[in-house]
Structure 1
Amino acid sequence: MAFALVVFLLGTKTYRFSIKGDEKSPFVRIGQVFVEAAKNWRATPPTIVIEEEVGGTLTHQGSQQFSFLNKALLGRAGSKKDGNVCSIREVEEAKAVLRLVPIWATCLVYAIVFAQSSTFFTKQGVTMDRSIVGFEIPAASLQSFIGFSVVLFIPIYDRIFVPLARAITRKPSGITMLQRIGTGMFLSIISMIVAAIVERKRLETAREYGLVDMPEATIPMSVWWLVPQYALFGVADVFTMVGLQEFFYDQVPNELRSVGLSLYLSIFGVGSLLSSALVSIIEKATSGDGHDSWFADNLNRAHLDYFYWLLAGLSAVELVAFLYFTKSYIYNRVSTI
């Protein structure tokens, strides 16, 4: 890391810097639009919006969506506050970011599901038979199957799936970015269903061999049972994670590319926090009165299968909400979708 830092610092002199003078940062510009729109919330819509729409600068659909932000243009319609006037470009930037919020919110459950691959999946693997060809593999190494499935499926997606989809939809990309994201969400539901079934089988095996109260004992069930749910996660990543990155990068103005990528990354950061919160709530709700919680330290008395079924249900609701919002979404770059 120290060597990499030195190379990075030496290379900074060769970078190309974009000098924009006194131009405000994207966060300041977007924030100012919301502030000005809030200040003018009682005012009538600015005439400049109508003029620009008639002139072709704004589409009628674009000007009507989130029309309350158009009031940030009131200064251009006769207000004397020259210092805080928002341009049409700034208002459109704010709308572009706000337009992404429903898509962002409906992807949080996918991030919650994704968080389980490095937590409870590993905890399951610890209790199972991990001996392969005379040695025992670490339970955490099972996460490598996600990477393997990604590497194996990408050529299939690029060389087989896309050409077939292109022949049906007549679109260069085969399917749209939003359809790609939705497909990955559907696969995440399947992965949770598979995980719940495998966990139920693991609990039944523990009861069959009398190992329920022996949490340190190895259950005579091969760890290979967990591979399908890891592999499904990898295939879902090819659709959803790549689709999200492309979508949030593409659907913002050029000056807001970094904001778009930060929104994409924040899905998994916030999703991990929500996963922890959900686990804490369920832990408190299912423990007490002498009952073991769904996440008991003795995994043979826990009910991770219930948790996986719950996540599958939440993912189904998420997918329905996602499909609803995609119908009303206005693309910024229709030609690239």
Structure 2
Amino acid sequence: MEQEMEKRKIEKEEEEEEEEKWVLDGSKDYKGRVPLRASTGAWKASLFVLTIEFSERISFFGIATNLISYLTKVIHEDLNTAAKNVNYWTGTSTLMPLIGGFVADAYTGRFLMVLFSSFVYLMGLCLLTMSQFIPSLKPCKSSICRKPRKVHEVVFFLALYCISLGTGGYKPCLESFGADQFDDDNTEERKKKMSFFNWWNFALCFGLLLGATVIVYVQDNVGWGAAGLILTIFMALTVIAFYVGKPFYRYRRPEGNPLTQVLQVIVAAIRKRNLTNPSSASLLYEVPKSDKSQGRLLSHTSRLRFLDKAAIIEDKNIEEKENPWRLATVTRVEETKLLLNVIPIWLTSVTVGICVAQGSTLFVKQAAAMNLNITHSFKIPPASIASFAAFGTLVAVPIYDKIIVPVLRKVTGNERGISILRRIGIGLTFTVIVMVVAALVEAKRLRAAEKNTISSVFWLIPQYLLLGFGDSFSLVGLQEYFYDQVPDSMRSLGMALYLSVIGIGSFVSSFLIIIVDHVTGKDGKAWIGKDINSSRLDRFYWMLAVINGLNLCLFLLLARRYTYKTVQRRTLQNDGVEIIP
């Protein structure tokens, strides 16, 4: 008897070792086989992803942070028009990922979409560089120019929107592809994935720091052509490095149009609307755990019970089970619930995007009207002041990941330290504080301007640092939320939803500028006028502080009632998975 028990124990240990050896989350290696844990994924693969993200962020922020200066100084747009054009471009860049993420999840897969989008992005950088070097495409024939050539404006904006198009496939897929390198069913890799989102944002902000300082300095003191050439070469090198890492990646195959599956659940539930939900969830239809075709299975939840009717087995015959428009699995029903659950959180997160939009538009114009001199011979480019936001995040992320999270894990027992929504809530609180500080600083700057005194640009440091601290909670939390809380088959689309928060925020910011300008401009005292000193940005910031405060209250109510995704863990033992080396 003891020998038999010892034998079973040894067999169990061998099975556990075999299970640990392979990655059984539905991903494949580059040859289409079940991935070997030791040679694929985790940090060895995600470092390639972080490298190309770092390169792209230098390019994007090097352009975005100084774009309003280019539009006002070279293309000679007024402040109102330039701010709206920056917001339109930023908004487009962060809404295009909704299309790219959908196409990647449904048809191409993330790796191929990243490669394709990188080439489109490179084409945009090449056009941007050419518009500065080719004589017929330059802004003007001579150094003195009051109005640029039309052909330059066309090529310049074409380059910008090529970059937006490249971002559309690049951004949602790259981050989700990096997170795919960690196995959710493995405790250690799951913890590493939580750190991955922190260090992703660290790489992003380091790129912002270099883009807003080094690249902006080159743009202002050497030329936009030289800056574009540097960005193009660096991007090309990192795209090559990303491709070299191909053998180390774990890949997920596209599963077809995920929105069709959601529609099938809704149609099936409507067809069975007159049926009564069973007393036990075990009576609802679900595929066997041994069936790997559907990926990870989700546990039943009590929310949105009407949709459970889609999983009621009306006629126990094969035909109904083969018709997804009449019968859905519990997992498909729960995936539909997840998407419906995400919508309110997405809507209340838009104010984060509004706050971020100020950092690259109105905050920069404030800086341009202030004393930028550090010494008599060195002057800070106005856009470089945005680097303090990146610095705030660079300081906050390591402290949070290496000090605060380990302490909170011991205190709360939560793997993340605090829940995702609590982290986002802290970030939303920072958005209120940022707007209040910005309003106070701007009011002080205007009082100094009335006395013909030029304020120091370092007055803006507190609001940028607070913006960076807030981003380390809100943006990182939103990244993790939209990756983790959407169906596994829609993770690229989930990251696109995160990016759309910033995009919609930019468009809403432009809309608010238009409305505020229309309402306050009637008496000739517009809050956002043609120049910064005739404006009343402090009042605009107070308005944003109130909007953010009300939104925070609504978010807290939603967070208290939120139910997180619960996944059924698979094991090698009960799945009977055939391992193909």
Q: TM-score range by the shorter chain?
A: 0.7 to 0.9
Q: What's 1:70 paired with?
A: 308
Q: What's 2:492 paired with?
A: 258
When structure 1 is superposed on structure 2, of 269-278 and 109-118 the one drifting more is: 269-278
Q: What's 2:563 paired with?
A: 330
Distance (Å, rounded) in 2 between the aligned partners of 1:32 and 1:298? 54
Q: What's 1:182 paired with?
A: 425
1:113 counterpart letter in structure 2 = C
Q: What's 1:115 paired with?
A: 357
Distance (Å, rounded) in 2 between the aligned partners of 1:16 and 1:160? 30
Match for residue 298 of structure 1 among 528, 531, 535 = 531
Distance (Å, rounded) in 1 between the aligned partners of 2:500 and 2:482? 11
Cα offset for 1:101? 1.3
Match for residue 44 of structure 1 among 271, 275, 279 = 275
Q: What's 2:542 paired with?
A: 309
For residues 192-218 of structure 1, the C-alpha deviation after alignment (integer angstroms, 9 at most, x for no partner) is 111000000011111122xxxxxxxxx
Match for residue 340 of structure 2 among 84, 92, 98 = 98
Query: Residues 27 and 5 of structure 1: is their aligned pair in 2 closer, same or farther, counting only changes over 3 Å?
Result: farther
Distance (Å, rounded) in 2 between the aligned partners of 1:307 and 1:148? 26
Distance (Å, rounded) in 1 between the aligned partners of 2:485 and 2:242? 32
1:77 counterpart letter in structure 2 = E
Distance (Å, rounded) in 2 between the aligned partners of 1:324 and 1:334? 25
Asked if residue 132 in structure 1 is aligned to residue 365 in structure 2, the reply is no
Alignment of 1:234-249 (within 5 A): 234-249=468-483
Q: What's 2:403 paired with?
A: 160
Q: What's 1:276 paired with?
A: 510
1:312 counterpart letter in structure 2 = A
Q: What's 1:233 paired with?
A: 467
Cα offset for 1:5? 9.4
**Seq. identity, %:** 39
For residues 23-63 of structure 1, the C-alpha deviation after alignment (integer angstroms, 9 at most, x for no partner) is 543222123323444x43753345597553699x9867x1x
Query: Residues 263 and 49 of structure 1: is their aligned pair in 2 closer, same or farther, counting only changes over 3 Å?
Result: farther
Q: What's 1:216 paired with?
A: none
Cα offset for 1:71? 3.6
Distance (Å, rounded) in 2 between the aligned partners of 1:221 and 1:6? 43
Distance (Å, rounded) in 2 between the aligned partners of 1:41 and 1:4? 56
1:139 counterpart letter in structure 2 = P
Asked if residue 197 in structure 1 is aligned to residue 440 in structure 2, the reply is yes
Q: How many residues were matched structurally?
A: 318
Match for residue 520 of structure 2 among 286, 293, 315 = 286
Distance (Å, rounded) in 2 between the aligned partners of 1:12 and 1:50? 44
For residues 97-151 of structure 1, the C-alpha deviation after alignment (integer angstroms, 9 at most, x for no partner) is 1111111111111111111000100011111111112222211111111111111
1:133 counterpart letter in structure 2 = T
Please tell me the root mean square deviation across aligned C-alpha atoms, in Å. 3.1
For residues 165-216 of structure 1, the C-alpha deviation after alignment (integer angstroms, 9 at most, x for no partner) is 345434343222111111111112111111000000011111122xxxxxxx
8 Å contact from structure 1 (residues 189, 312) kept in 2? yes
Distance (Å, rounded) in 1 between the aligned partners of 2:253 and 2:536? 57
8 Å contact from structure 2 (residues 370, 454) kept in 1? yes
Structure 2, unpaired ranges of 5+: 1-121, 124-235, 287-296, 569-581
8 Å contact from structure 1 (residues 205, 221) kept in 2? yes
2:349 counterpart letter in structure 1 = C
Q: What's 1:25 paired with?
A: 257
8 Å contact from structure 1 (residues 47, 77) kept in 2? no
Distance (Å, rounded) in 1 between the aligned partners of 2:500 and 2:241? 25
TM-score by length of 2: 0.50
Structure 1, unpaired ranges of 5+: 210-218
TM-score by length of 1: 0.83
8 Å contact from structure 1 (residues 53, 59) kept in 2? no
Distance (Å, rounded) in 2 between the aligned partners of 1:207 and 1:9? 54
Structure 1 runs, 4 residues or longer, greater than 6 Å off: 57-60
Distance (Å, rounded) in 2 between the aligned partners of 1:98 and 1:160? 35
Specify the SS of the correspondent of 2:486. Answer: coil
Distance (Å, rounded) in 2 between the aligned partners of 1:299 and 1:232? 22
